[in-house]
Amino acid sequence: MRSNILRAPMIPTAPIVSSSLPELITKPLPDIAKAIAAGNVSSVALTQYYLERIARLNPSLQAYITVTAETALAQASAADQALADGRSLGPLHGVPVALKDLCETDCAPTSNGMAIFRDRQTGRNAKVVTNLQAAGAVILGKLAMAEGACSTHHPEMPVPVNPWGTSFRVGSSSSGSGVAVAAGLAAAAIGSDTGGSIRFPAAYCGVTGLKPSRGFVSTEGICAMAPSLDHVGPMASNADGCALLLEAMSGLGNTLPSGQTPARRFGYLPYLLSARLDPEVRTAYCRLLDTAERVGLDLVACAVPDVPDLQETWDFICAKETARSHAASYPVQRNAYGQALATLIEKGLSLSDEDYAEALKRYAEITVLWNKLFDGIDWLAMPVHAVIPPLLDNALGAPNKGLGNPLEFTAPANLTGLPALAFSVGRDPRGCPIGMQIMAPMQADFALLALGSRLQESGLYPLSLFSPKASEFEPLK
């Protein structure tokens, strides 16, 4: 990593005042927020602790590309002063969070995971950042990501490491966001999702992530990949944390009544119970269904709409819109682009306007078909990926697996705009997390998160990655 990418945090020499901080950061986001609001811990002390942890662990985990230590400590100090004055800044009062490095910020560069933009200053905040700050959040820094929110990291940029094991994939493109939450380097993080970029890292890193309903969270000031498919969403240790973060980042209050019983019709796909999935993934899928039944939901066998060209439609729209998003720098700076992103852009440039118009027509038709699916169910359970996360020396969806495209289960939510919640339901024999996802009707985001919370509290609780008493990061054995 180049020295001008990572801004080393300024760590005060005064000792941490609370011995409970190592334990506190293992708690869900709402518990951390409550501890600050109750005055049990100061925002400054907690922020200092996170910054110290980042300084110690980020050189090996590579989650952060920029640490905004001075800004974070100033925000934390202001939060503590407000609390002393009897003022609440919002639901995230004094809580340290981090941003995927495609969120424009006035306090740090916004690289979008691209080497040519590593020092780009936009001088403004994305709408989601403005909303977070209005809710009282402390911004710890910017998180590493795949180049241009595509599938791979640029060779000159940091590549985050999965804290479960260095040979395990992190998932793209919100890779730093997944690692930061999993490793306790932030209380929560912002990610983005164009074809699964929140859900893959959430599943592979053992955390929870929501791709919200289309339009639920503003994408103003977010570096675009494919605007028709792009979504910005929360990543946290559990569904309750995602709900609190979603409330803050969207600027929309969670009006869902506390304790409301979730809708009961829990859709599942019978064909996934055959040999369609890796055995470990199939076992995890069955565990999700068993837990849903145990909490009182009714399992409803169903079938997704028969849309043979769904993947092609996603591909066409993603390629064409990505090419348009990079028109100012590609092909002028072609040599500065990594291979995966350049290949996607070249495909977009090769598509005609007629191809794109036809894809948009199918996009609208597919949305109608998938929305109609929810006339008969309230939820739809699917894996995030058909195979257990491949090791770094294997290709994603390796040909010998014979299980189709890696976006098979994630792209539908981006095309249709339906919300999808991803979370871990266990680990495979190698110790790597296995993730599942639940889709819901449009605008049912908070209800979906409430369902996720109920399932997690009933046996699918997220995995704990680190020992609160350990002086160093210790992945569980």
Pairing, β 96-100 against β 189-193: parallel
- For 137, counting Cβ atoms within 10 Å of its Cβ (0-12 exposed, 13-18 middle, 19+ buried), the class is buried
Dist. CA 382–CA 211, nearest whole Å: 14
Q: Is-catalytic flag, 192?
A: no
Nearest to 473 by CA among 136, 46, 185: 185
- Is there a catalytic annotation at residue 173? yes
Which residue in 100, 127, 142, 211 is the catalytic one? 100
AA identity, residue 48: Q
Length, in residues, of the chain: 477
For residue 298, the tally of other CB atoms under 10 A from its CB is 13
Q: Kindly name the residue from 172, 173, 177, 237 that is annotated as catalytic.
A: 173
Retrieve residue 290's tokens.
């068993």
Task: Compute the distance between CA of residue 103 and CA of residue 152 in angstroms, rounded to an integer.
Answer: 19
- The residues, any chain, with a CB within 8 Å of residue 28's CB and separated by 6 or more, are 236, 237, 238, 240, 241
Contact status, residue 361 vs residue 312, Cβ threshold 8 Å: no
What string of DSSP letters covers 347-370? HHHHS-HHHHHHHHHHHHHHHHHH
Nearest to 176 by CA among 212, 216, 155, 204: 204
Q: Hey, which residues does 233 pair with through a beta bridge?
A: 191
Cα–Cα distance, 124 to 141 (Å, whole number): 15
The residue annotated as part of the active site, out of 175, 197, 237, 325, is 197
* Alpha-carbon span 430 to 477, nearest angstrom: 10
CB 340 within 8 A of CB 379: no
Give the pair of three-digit tokens for residue 419: 């919300």
Name beta bridge partners: 434: 426
User: 247 and 91 in contact (C-beta within 8 Å)?
Assistant: yes
> Strand runs (DSSP E) across 231-383, as ranges?
231-236, 265-268, 298-301, 379-383
Separation CA 274–CA 282 (nearest Å): 8
Residues marked as catalytic: 100, 173, 197
